[in-house]
């Protein structure tokens, strides 16, 4: 349970205790058992999250900062408050610690950055003619999941080849049920056309079974079965069928060839290899499932230079598996801190035994060595890119007379067609490149805007963004929110009129001191001849071969891409919208039932009250509500 001891007694107006003295005030109320603790500064920001076998002993160690490393001593000096949570076991404390670190992102912890979800493949089991499709996110659909894959590209490539190898359908259920003749995929031999009865349910189920066997590591058995069928077809002089089976075998072989290393001694395992250069690290992660290599991805965790490699790996692995199950085997390039405890915690979360091993010989050691080599090369490239990025940001500061290299650049753009489906977009860039997790889209809400009024759209977006920023900055409880990040430079798409409108919007919300620069194309609209506009100064141009110009062009183009993507998505959604979406009480299931019964939204609108009441799942009251929606008179 949460335990937050009261403030130590003091005289009125006395400065609150900080550091070791403040920590020592908590000792009397602490249990000698396992738990998790949080250290907070005077603003309430979490500095550090840790777990302990004995909270009392661990916190006692913090009362003697002179004997601790400088980083820990500095953290102690900033501590103004601590929060404690007692747990039933040290394993539970480890799991809770990883969860809190990921959620709170304390400054003094090892932090897993770029923790995007990994794509999987889903073999559906809720349809007579199942399909294999890409799936990302929670595993809420009925079916068998295969993954994770390192990237969406790896999944797409495997799916495309699986379609050639097993002829499984890729269309949605709506398209499947609406077809009257085979599509192009059937003509090019990438689908067996179950939608039009070109294959029966039993034969299609056999294809699905073969695909499942292949994805679970039984590819050799499937290939041998297909080879036997091909030989039998050839002996029976059914050469067209033999050729089809040959092409399917070739497609399966292509998948295996593209997957690179396919170990004989590893079935399901993840490989973590760590390479360090001081405070910079790269952890290369390889996925092996069903004896096949399903890709790899590099990570660059944030940590201090003093953090030991074993602690770094242990904290990273704990956070990585906080929201995903661990495989039975985890291979690491070096010893991790509290290996047995970490394996036990991951096993509890995954529901099966998990082993963490440091291989010293054989194929497993070779695979770890290959991952380590990848980590080393990736870190070298990352450091080189970081140095180049720093130089570009220094160039931006020089060109626009900023106080220093900007740590956060916000770029704004709008997208619409004659004012319809208008979207405002904000992208963010900094020392680590594009920060895609910070991107934002703004639905233009004002009904008073004239169609195509870009200045008014830009004004609305900036007032909403910086108005909220000002409110959150004034609210102590919101100061660590994801919106409360001030830019060092605002870059907008446009010339002096856009810059003047942006300055007026920021001045109106009290953020007039934020540097604003407009980037406008020349009259010829040629790349490299852009004009840059600053408030109260004449426009100017940069050398066409300037690296800073190329960098700013990339920022503008990325904002343009993001804005257009948001606009297209909004437009597509509007095109596919149905009047049924506007009726309260008609959700996805009832909408599907109505459309399946009547065939279209127009037919629903023309249906009588008694016809609506005959639809399964539609009550008399809801039927009357639907009828009155379409017949207001």
- Note the residue count of the chain: 633
Question: In this structure, are strands 280-289 and 409-417 parallel, antiparallel, or unpaired?
Answer: unpaired
Average the pLDDT over 411-423 and give the result. 73
Who has greater pLDDT, 95 or 627?
A: 95
Residue 11: per-residue pLDDT: 36
* DSSP E strand boundaries for 311-452: 329-332, 355-357, 409-417, 420-430, 433-434, 440-443
pTM score: 0.69
Is the predicted pLDDT of residue 501 greater than 70, yes or no?
A: yes
Same domain, yes or no: 223 and 276: no
pLDDT, tens digit, 9 for 90 and up, residues 242-273: 887 787 777 777 665 555 556 777 888 999 99
When pLDDT is cut at 50, 70 and 90, the band that residue 345 belongs to is: very high
Q: Last residue of a domain, which of 70, 104, 138?
A: 104
Is the predicted pLDDT of residue 571 greater than 70, yes or no?
A: no
Same domain, yes or no: 491 and 614: no
Residue 416: per-residue pLDDT: 64
When pLDDT is cut at 50, 70 and 90, the band that residue 8 belongs to is: very low
The C-alpha atoms of residue 501 and residue 542 are separated, in whole angstroms, by 24
Residue 593: per-residue pLDDT: 81
Same domain, yes or no: 176 and 301: no
Residue 485: per-residue pLDDT: 83
Residue 398 lies in a domain: no
Same domain, yes or no: 75 and 132: no
pLDDT, tens digit, 9 for 90 and up, residues 169-224: 888 888 888 888 888 888 888 888 999 888 888 888 888 888 887 777 676 777 77
Contact 593, 615 (CB under 8 A): yes
When pLDDT is cut at 50, 70 and 90, the band that residue 479 belongs to is: very low
Residue 390 lies in a domain: no
CATH code: domain of residue 452:
3.30.420.340
Who has greater pLDDT, 108 or 131?
A: 108
What domain range is 331 assigned to?
269-381
Is the predicted pLDDT of residue 518 greater than 60, yes or no?
A: yes
Percent of the chain topping pLDDT 90? 27
Residue of 60, 58, 83, 63 lying closest to 73 (CA atoms): 63
Average the pLDDT over 555-572 and give the result. 80
The DSSP secondary structure of 17-53, one letter per residue, reads P-THHHHHTTGGG--SS-EEEEEE-TTS-EEEEEEES
Same domain, yes or no: 156 and 274: no
Is the predicted pLDDT of residue 4 greater than 70, yes or no?
A: no
Residue 334: per-residue pLDDT: 93
Same domain, yes or no: 428 and 561: yes
When pLDDT is cut at 50, 70 and 90, the band that residue 446 belongs to is: low
When pLDDT is cut at 50, 70 and 90, the band that residue 346 belongs to is: very high
The helix or strand, by DSSP H or E, that contains position 273, with its residue range, turns out to be strand 269-277
Residue 12: per-residue pLDDT: 35
Query: For the ranges 44-58, 97-111, 555-569, which has the lowest average pLDDT?
Result: 555-569
Contact 444, 463 (CB under 8 A): no
Residue 401 lies in a domain: no
Same domain, yes or no: 296 and 201: no
Average the pLDDT over 4-22 and give the result. 54
Residues near 580 by Cβ (< 8 Å), separated by ≥ 6? 586, 591, 594, 595, 601, 604, 626
Residue 6: per-residue pLDDT: 47
CATH code: domain of residue 75:
3.40.1440.10
Query: Of the spans 58-62, 443-447, 469-473, which averages the highest pLDDT?
Result: 58-62
The C-alpha atoms of residue 480 and residue 570 are separated, in whole angstroms, by 31
Residue 588 lies in a domain: yes
Is the predicted pLDDT of residue 15 greater than 50, yes or no?
A: no
The C-alpha atoms of residue 288 and residue 295 are separated, in whole angstroms, by 8
The C-alpha atoms of residue 136 and residue 92 are separated, in whole angstroms, by 28
Residue 477 lies in a domain: yes
Mean pLDDT for the chain overall: 83
Residues near 556 by Cβ (< 8 Å), separated by ≥ 6? 411, 413, 491, 493, 519
Residue 128 lies in a domain: yes
Residue 467: per-residue pLDDT: 87
Residue 222: per-residue pLDDT: 76
When divided into structural domains, the chain yields a total of 5
Residue 16: per-residue pLDDT: 47
Is the predicted pLDDT of residue 591 greater than 90, yes or no?
A: no
Is the predicted pLDDT of residue 560 greater than 80, yes or no?
A: yes
Contact 98, 322 (CB under 8 A): yes
Residue 572: per-residue pLDDT: 64
Who has greater pLDDT, 82 or 581?
A: 82
Same domain, yes or no: 88 and 226: no
Residue 13: per-residue pLDDT: 36
Same domain, yes or no: 293 and 226: no
Average the pLDDT over 480-495 and give the result. 79
Same domain, yes or no: 607 and 559: no
Buried residues in 157-194 as b, exposed as e (16+ CB within 10 A): bbbebbbbbbbbbbbeeeebeeeeebbebbeeebbbbb
Same domain, yes or no: 78 and 150: no
Same domain, yes or no: 432 and 542: yes
């Amino acid at each position: 349970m949460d335990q937050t001891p009261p403030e130590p007694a003091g005289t009125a107006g006395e400065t609150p205790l900080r550091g070791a003295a403040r920590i020592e005030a908590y000792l009397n109320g602490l249990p000698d058992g396992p738990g998790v603790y949080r250290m907070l500064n005077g603003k309430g920001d979490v500095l550090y999250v840790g777990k302990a076998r004995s909270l009392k002993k661990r916190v006692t160690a913090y009362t003697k900062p002179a004997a601790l490393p400088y980083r820990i001593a500095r953290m102690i000096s900033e501590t103004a408050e601590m929060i404690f949570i007692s747990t039933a076991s040290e394993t539970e404390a480890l799991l809770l610690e990883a969860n809190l670190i990921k959620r709170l992102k304390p400054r003094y912890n090892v932090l897993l950055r770029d923790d995007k979800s990994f794509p999987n493949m889903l073999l559906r089991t809720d349809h007579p003619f199942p399909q294999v499709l890409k799936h990302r996110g929670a595993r809420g659909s009925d079916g068998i999941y295969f993954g994770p894959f390192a990237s969406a590209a790896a999944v797409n490539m495997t799916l495309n080849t699986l379609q050639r190898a097993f002829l499984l359908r890729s269309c949605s259920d709506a398209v499947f049920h609406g077809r009257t003749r085979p599509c192009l995929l059937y003509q090019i031999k990438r689908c067996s056309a179950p939608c039009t009865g070109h294959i029966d349910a039993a034969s299609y189920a056999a294809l699905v079974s073969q695909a499942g066997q292949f994805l679970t590591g039984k590819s050799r058995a499937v290939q041998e079965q297909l080879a036997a069928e091909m030989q039998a077809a050839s002996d029976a002089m059914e050469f067209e069928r033999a050729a089809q089976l040959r092409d399917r075998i070739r497609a399966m072989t292509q998948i295996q060839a593209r997957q690179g290393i396919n170990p004989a001694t590893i079935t399901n395992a993840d490989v973590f290899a760590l390479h360090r250069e001081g405070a910079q690290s790269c952890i290369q992660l390889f996925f092996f499932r069903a004896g096949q290599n399903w890709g790899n991805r590099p990570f660059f965790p944030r940590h201090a230079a003093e953090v030991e490699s074993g602690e770094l790996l242990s904290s990273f692995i704990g956070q990585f598996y906080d929201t995903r199950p661990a495989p039975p085997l985890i291979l690491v390039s070096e010893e991790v801190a509290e290996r047995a405890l970490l394996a036990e915690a991951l096993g509890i979360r995954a529901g099966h035994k998990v082993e963490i091993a440091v291989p010293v010989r054989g194929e497993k050691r070779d695979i770890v060595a290959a991952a380590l080599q990848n980590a080393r090369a990736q870190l070298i490239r990352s450091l080189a890119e970081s140095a180049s990025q720093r130089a570009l940001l220094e160039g931006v500061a020089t060109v626009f007379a900023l106080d220093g290299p900007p740590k956060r650049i916000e770029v704004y753009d709008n997208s619409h067609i004659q004012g319809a489906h208008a979207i405002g977009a904000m992208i963010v860039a900094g020392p680590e490149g594009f920060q895609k997790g910070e991107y934002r889209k703004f639905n233009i809400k004002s009904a008073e805007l004239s169609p195509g009024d870009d200045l008014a759209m830009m004004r609305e977006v900036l007032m909403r963004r910086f108005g909220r920023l000002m409110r959150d900055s004034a609210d102590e409880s919101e100061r660590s929110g994801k919106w409360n990040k001030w830019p060092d430079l605002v870059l907008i798409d446009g010339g002096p009129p856009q810059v003047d409108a942006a300055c007026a919007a920021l001045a109106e919300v009290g953020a007039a001191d934020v540097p604003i620069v407009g980037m406008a194309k020349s009259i010829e609209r040629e790349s490299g001849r852009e004009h840059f506009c600053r408030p109260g100064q004449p426009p100017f141009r940069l050398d066409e071969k300037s690296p800073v110009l190329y960098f700013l062009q990339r920022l503008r183009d990325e904002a343009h891409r993001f804005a257009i993507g948001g606009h297209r998505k909004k437009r597509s959604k509007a095109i596919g919208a149905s009047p049924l979406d506007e009726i309260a009480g008609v959700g996805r299931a009832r909408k599907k039932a109505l459309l399946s019964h009547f065939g279209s939204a127009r037919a629903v609108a023309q249906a009588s009250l008694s016809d609506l009441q005959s639809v399964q799942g539609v009550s008399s009251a809801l039927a009357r509500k639907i009828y009155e929606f379409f017949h207001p008179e």
